[in-house]
């Protein structure tokens, strides 16, 4: 994810990183060349003059803008829901860490720190699951070799890690280190972890309906390639420039809708899951007094 302070208006015109322009530059060049050819031949295909009233494009453009607004809202809802779920995870991990150190009597500080590392491992494993990764770097760093061995071959690793934490809490209850009221409260906290994980999986497994994306994509490109015929007689040599400007608006928005509709990816405008996981780890390790490196914030921009 790009994190960047807003530049002045002139610099904003030339920013490349974080822009979808790199994805659509080929389409824009193609439309430019096509528009220039239409201008050169004065709107004729062989000997047939294509007559299209600009009013038609006004009506179609208005309908297209309304439909794109709907699709954009649907995509941003998915993006924002994903961000809220991960924001809740930051809160709940800190709350559970606080409960472990303030409400559980008996276990050593080192034993509690191991559970805190499991909490961090949960966030990293959820991150990797949502990004279709099978890396064990963070699990090997945060969990014991025995725990890592138990996770081999498992598909829903975050749920298994929650089971490890739940078993530890149950064991502390049997030993009399926590009473039933605290047990219920901590179990409720773990249920919130499960809800967050399930919410993220719902977004991941339920993309925007393909029919919407297909209809939007087709309509945008049909509109942009027919537009030169409607403007060539009224705008003359300015037609290619205006067509490219209008095409950039529609095609770029179509690309943005597709990009933010899958918020857990690793593109420049997706959620910064790695950064959130580092924030979780830093904050709960600080609560548990576990030695760690300094958490560094980006100066201008970074890609998560």
pLDDT at 161: 95
Tell me the C-alpha distance between 62 and 303, whole Å.
Answer: 35
Could you read off the pLDDT of 81-116 as tens digits, one per residue?
A: 999 999 999 999 999 999 999 998 888 899 999 999
Please state, rounded to an integer, the average pLDDT across all residues of the chain: 88
Are the beta carbons of 219 and 64 closer than 8 angstroms? yes
pLDDT at 136: 76
Could you read off the pLDDT of 10-48 as tens digits, one per residue?
A: 777 777 777 888 889 999 999 999 999 988 988 787 778
Q: Which residue has the higher pLDDT, 192 or 58?
A: 192
Backbone Cα Rg of the chain: 27
pLDDT at 58: 87
C-alpha distance from residue 263 to each of 85, 124, 257, 266 (Å): 12, 16, 11, 8
Are the beta carbons of 252 and 21 closer than 8 angstroms? yes
pLDDT at 296: 62
pLDDT grade for 3, boundaries at 50, 70 and 90: low
DSSP assignment of the chain, as one string?
A: --------HHHHTT--TT-THHHHHHHHHHHHHHHHHHHHTTTEETTEE----HHHHHHHHHHHHHHHHHHHHHHHHHHHHHHHHHHHHHHHHHHHHHHHHHH--SS-HHHHHHHHHHHHHHHHHHHHHHTT----HHHHHHS-HHHHHHHTT-S-HHHHHHHHHHHHHHHHHHTTSS-HHHHHHHHHHHHHHHHHHHHHHHHHHSPSPHHHHHHHHHHHHHHHHHHHHHHHHHHGGGHHHHHHHHHHHHHHHHHHHHHHTSTTS-STTS--HHHHHHHHHHHHHHHHT---PPPPPPSS----
Residue bearing tokens 């998915």: 78
pLDDT grade for 4, boundaries at 50, 70 and 90: low
Could you read off the pLDDT of 232-283 as tens digits, one per residue?
A: 888 888 999 999 999 999 999 999 999 889 999 888 888 999 999 999 999 9
Could you read off the pLDDT of 117-171 as tens digits, one per residue?
A: 999 999 999 999 999 887 778 899 999 999 999 988 888 999 999 999 999 999 9
Tell me the C-alpha distance between 52 and 87, whole Å.
Answer: 51
């Amino acid at each position: 994810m790009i994190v960047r302070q807003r530049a002045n208006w002139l610099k904003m015109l030339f920013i490349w990183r974080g822009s979808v322009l790199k994805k659509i530059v080929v389409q824009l060049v193609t439309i430019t060349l096509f528009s220039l050819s239409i201008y050169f031949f004065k709107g004729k295909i062989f000997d047939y003059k294509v007559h299209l009233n600009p009013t038609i494009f006004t009506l179609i453009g208005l309908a297209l803008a309304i439909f794109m607004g709907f699709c954009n809202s649907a995509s941003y809802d998915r993006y924002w829901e994903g961000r809220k779920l991960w924001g809740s995870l930051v809160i709940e991990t800190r709350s559970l860490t606080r409960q472990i150190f303030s409400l559980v009597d008996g276990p050593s500080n080192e034993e509690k720190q191991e559970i805190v590392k499991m909490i961090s491992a949960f966030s990293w494993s959820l991150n990797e699951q949502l990004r279709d990764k099978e890396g064990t770097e963070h699990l090997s760093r945060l969990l014991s070799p025995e725990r890592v061995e138990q996770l081999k071959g498992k598909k829903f690793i975050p749920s298994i890690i929650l089971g490890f934490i739940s078993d530890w809490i149950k064991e502390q209850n049997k030993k009399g280190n926590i009473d039933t009221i605290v047990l219920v409260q901590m179990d409720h906290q773990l249920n919130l972890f499960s809800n967050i994980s399930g919410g993220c999986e719902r977004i991941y497994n339920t993309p925007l309906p393909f029919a919407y994306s297909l209809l939007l994509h087709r309509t945008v490109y049909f509109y942009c390639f027919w537009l030169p015929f409607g403007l060539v007689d009224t705008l003359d040599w300015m037609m290619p420039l205006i067509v490219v400007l209008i095409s950039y608006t529609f095609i770029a928005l179509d690309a943005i809708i597709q990009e933010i509709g899958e918020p857990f990816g690793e593109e420049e405008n997706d959620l910064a899951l790695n950064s959130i996981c580092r924030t979780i780890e830093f904050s709960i390790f600080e609560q548990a007094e576990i030695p760690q490196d300094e958490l560094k914030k980006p100066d201008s921009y970074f890609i998560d």
